[in-house]
Structure 1
Amino acid sequence: MRSRASEAGRAWPYVLLAVVLVIAGGGVAAYALGYLDQWVCENGTCEPREADPAAIPDTPDSPVLQPVLPAAEDAGLDAAAVQRAIGPLLGRKALGSHVGFAVSDLASGEQVWSSGTGSFAPASTLKLFTSLAAMTSIGSERRFRTTVVRDTTGTGADGTAEPGTDAPPEPGTPAAEPARIVLVGGGDPYLTATSDAAARAAYPRQASLAQLAKQTATALRADGVTEVSLGYDSSLFTGPAVNPAWEPTYITSFVTTPVSALWVDQGVDGWRRSATPDRQAAQLFARQLKARGITVTGVAEAAQPVEAEQVAAVSSGTVAQIVQSVIEHSDNQGAEVLLRHVAIAEGKPATFEGGTAAVQEILTGLGVPWEGNTVYDGSGLARANRVTLASMLSVVTTASALFDRYPVAGFNGSLSARFTAPGTEPALGAVRAKTGTLTGVHSLAGTTVTRDGTPVGFVVMTDRVPVPKTLDARATLDRITARLSACACGG
């Protein structure tokens, strides 16, 4: 067995080494902190020492970098080159007898070349007007709220009866009326009936009527309320819900829904669109409340009470997200709701006329030329709409806030199935544009980058296409923008 004395004898060299390291480390620290200076300087003071010049290495001067190639001058877009590339395609018979094309250099913002006269039916490219106005006037981060309020007329601040009104009723007196609540539409274009989880997962973010019903039932039960009468208020928007300039069959054939500040899933139930989307939303809300233990004795249109307290609320996605969906999917209903909000933001009546007047004021304030334009709605559904090439190109060139919201050629939205024909490959992933389609009307408006790297804005419109040439016309528009993308058109 090894003795403790022998173990101690073997350990002392390590102890001694540790002591030496501690002393050495402390000395280095003391020197670094200046504590030893008083011992090595005379009389406790030190004179600075001049460095020996011979000990300082020479440092060469920094090299002067020379360009490999001389800097290129930005000569902009060459109008003649664009005309040579695009001109021959504009005369194709598939495009009909009224064709327009215009292109701008996005670096300078100037129109470079155009072909075609007069004004054109824009179809859904008009949504760019509405979207730019909404982003400018309402603001990109604004959200729209759908609320439930409770009538507090004749009640205290906490919703209970005022003193003196809660005495036991006389025999034979009818039972007290149920609490009165009102579902108030805030103009959310994407309010949905789905569960809250599904609504949060959607893009743009959607507010859920199911979540609103859950909040409402929880708040009512907390106040001891289990029976209500339900009103609904969609008065935020005024004027006709159906545009007089629309084709009469748009409603009867379920092309679009009458515009409303209160609807669920844009009034769509299955494949049909409701003619009264606000009432449909209220009836669905009543069923959701019943499923959560609240008895609903009746559903009726009603104004928001003057004396009311908010019971529950849900908020839409942002205006920027809504605009993204309107442009990407060419959403007519969303565009018309945005038009009404633009009118409200500009202090005008929330009608078609108020909205279009507000859009005109906003865009002309941004420098968009308006002469020659006639606009009746926000979606482009009205066949009587007319806009000039200069006006549409100015919006495309001005609307930098919309550049990243256009569909991308061959990738998403209304361009996901486009640019599939031979010869359109240069546009894939390069062209970002809003489509426009009505019977006999086809248009594209957006941006691309030419082969030599010049960013350009463009508009191509045709509104007298023979119906049998519909697919040919659309394919020709794709070839035109692909030719622009492939053009070495830089000056």
Structure 2
Amino acid sequence: MRSRTSEAGRAWPYLLLAVVLLIAGGGVAAYGLGYLDRWVCEDGTCEARQPERAAVPDTPPAPALRPVLAAAPDPGLDAAAVQKAVGPLLGRKALGSHVGFAVSDLSTGKQVWSSGTGTFAPASTLKLFTALAAVTSIGAEHRFRTTVLHDTTGTGTGGSVTPGTAAPPATDAPSPAPARIVLVGGGDPYLAATSGPEARGSYPQQASLAQLARRTAAALKADGVTEVSLGYDPSLFTGPAVSPAWEPTYITSFVTTPVSALWVDQGREGWRRSAKPDRQAAQVFARQLRARGIAVSTVAKAARPVESEELAAITSATVAQIVQSVIENSDNQAAEVLLRHIALAEDQPASFAGGVKAVESVLSGLGIPWQGNTVYDGSGLARGNRVTLASMLAVVTSGSELFDRYPVAGFNGSLAARFTATGTEPALGAVRAKTGTLSGVHSLAGTTTTRDGTPVGFVLMTDRVPVPKTLDARTTLDRITARLSACTCASG
């Protein structure tokens, strides 16, 4: 057996050779890179050798990035494909004898296809006219103020003691009249009675008479006033409070409240609605003042004082928030209040007629075709309202700032309980639309996206539905919009 010592003795020359070759190779590499010049110089002062210029390749310029394929042009919406998708359902008997449908490509803003002639009763889809005019004319961030004024006409203090003066000596003369204050309605459609949990959890956030009473009482007490006579001024709005175009039963059956610039909880008294919402609001305010230590001797309608100072004020939600509630919940009362504010913004009388004229002016200025329309109110309650498919579709197409305020199919607002029938699944979460419903009248107007990604605006109206077919008609409308959502309707 060979010894380990003899084997190691024969291997060491090879190990030595390997070390020599490794050192030599490293030296060549180091010299090639100029590292040895840092240590070995003829005179000891030489600088490190720089690599030859040719040995350092230039960094190539960044390549120009070109798309592999040119972006395909938007194919647009194909009218024949839309007709094929929804046309057969438009003839269903459940929809009655007068049906209108129109669709636009939202990427171009152009109407693509329509079916149906004449004008249609819009019902609550008319609120889209009012909403678009409101955010355009009044302004999305505007708020409405409800105020309390201290009447200083003639007396300076209305019976209170002027700060810094002594109280008059006691005499047998009659006590001075109580200070006179006036509650001035500013047209807040969502002014609430209290700021309790229900009001705090509402949307939009509601200002309350309780807030106003607290601020008013504090201001009066600071001036030494503990007794007042209360006036209330609802004169911001003019004209009839009830439209002559409405059904007479709308008021007697508590469908809606007479329109007022001063009301609380939209004139509701439990499940009833007040026929005099301004007086009801003043009475609520008087009770709240008494609860805060202010005696109220009388409550009566009054004109705005000639001379006054503001004691307290509260502000409404923004117009944008009010508009969202009007569209989402189909709020008739708030829509009619907005109509009058539009009139004021457009220098028209704050009435039904003035409001309609103002809406026409604002929408016409946006390029909405008005010819052929007959409109009596801002809510769509009037059965005599008539609009063209073209004008309603133009409002939907032009009113992009309203898109995210529409109810979503199957999720919220007036569409929360819709789209439950078989065949309506493609519309769930895709269709955003305003509903319209009166006896014999059903409509939808809004937006969706087709299966192949084309955003579309649509209007669907029917106003001669047999009453026994009401539910069938509503379901058919849902199926039509679901067909549009599921349609592969791009051109080409």
Identify the TM-score tier after normalising by the shorter chain. 0.7 to 0.9
State whether residues 450 and 487 of structure 2, in contact with CA within 8 Å, keep that contact through their aligned partners in structure 1.
yes
Distance 1:260 1:365 in 2: 28
Sort the Cα spacing of 1:129 and 1:57 in 2 relative to 1 into closer, same or farther, 3 A. same
The match for 2:408 is 408
Q: Does 1:235 align with 2:224?
A: no
Which aligned pairs between 1:417-436 and structure 2 lie closer than 5 A?
417-436=417-436
Amino acid corresponding to residue 107 of structure 2 in structure 1: A
The match for 2:29 is none
Sort the Cα spacing of 1:165 and 1:364 in 2 relative to 1 into closer, same or farther, 3 A. farther
The match for 1:468 is 468
**Deviation, structure 1 residue 203:** 1.3
Tell which deviates more after alignment, 50-59 or 477-486.
Answer: 50-59
Distance 1:186 1:271 in 2: 25
**Deviation, structure 1 residue 298:** 1.1
Which aligned pairs between 1:204-243 and structure 2 lie closer than 5 A?
204-243=204-243
Question: 1:377-419, CA deviations, whole angstroms, 9 ceiling, x for partnerless residues?
Answer: 0000000000000010000001111111111111110001111
Question: 1:405-446, CA deviations, whole angstroms, 9 ceiling, x for partnerless residues?
Answer: 111111110001111111111111110000000000000000
The match for 2:449 is 449
**Deviation, structure 1 residue 60:** 4.1
Which aligned pairs between 1:28-427 and structure 2 lie closer than 5 A?
53=53, 56=56, 58-65=58-65, 67=67, 69-156=69-156, 160=161, 167-168=168-169, 170-171=171-172, 173-195=173-195, 199-427=199-427
Q: Does 1:487 align with 2:476?
A: no
Structure 2 runs not aligned, ≥5 long: 1-48
Distance 2:84 2:241 in 1: 47
Distance 1:164 1:287 in 2: 31
Q: State the TM-score, normalizing by the size of structure 1.
A: 0.87
State whether residues 196 and 207 of structure 1, in contact with CA within 8 Å, keep that contact through their aligned partners in structure 2.
no
State whether residues 163 and 223 of structure 2, in contact with CA within 8 Å, keep that contact through their aligned partners in structure 1.
no
- 1:138 partner SS: helix
**Deviation, structure 1 residue 195:** 1.7
Q: State the TM-score, normalizing by the size of structure 2.
A: 0.86
- 2:369 partner SS: coil
**Deviation, structure 1 residue 205:** 1.7
Question: 1:167-189, CA deviations, whole angstroms, 9 ceiling, x for partnerless residues?
Answer: 44652x22111111111000000
Distance 1:52 1:293 in 2: 98
Amino acid corresponding to residue 117 of structure 2 in structure 1: T
Aligned length: 443
State whether residues 89 and 476 of structure 2, in contact with CA within 8 Å, keep that contact through their aligned partners in structure 1.
yes
**Deviation, structure 1 residue 52:** 5.9
Question: 1:26-54, CA deviations, whole angstroms, 9 ceiling, x for partnerless residues?
Answer: xxxxxxxxxxxxxxxxxxxxxxx999635
Sort the Cα spacing of 1:103 and 1:89 in 2 relative to 1 into closer, same or farther, 3 A. same
Distance 2:275 2:488 in 1: 52
- 2:311 partner SS: strand
Distance 1:132 1:51 in 2: 73
Distance 1:157 1:229 in 2: 13
- 1:408 partner SS: coil
Distance 2:198 2:147 in 1: 20
State whether residues 195 and 207 of structure 2, in contact with CA within 8 Å, keep that contact through their aligned partners in structure 1.
no
Distance 1:308 1:425 in 2: 60
Distance 1:196 1:160 in 2: 35
Distance 1:416 1:429 in 2: 10
Query: What is the root-mean-square deviation in Å for CA atoms of aligned residues?
Result: 2.2
Question: 1:274-316, CA deviations, whole angstroms, 9 ceiling, x for partnerless residues?
Answer: 0000000000011111111111111111111111110110000
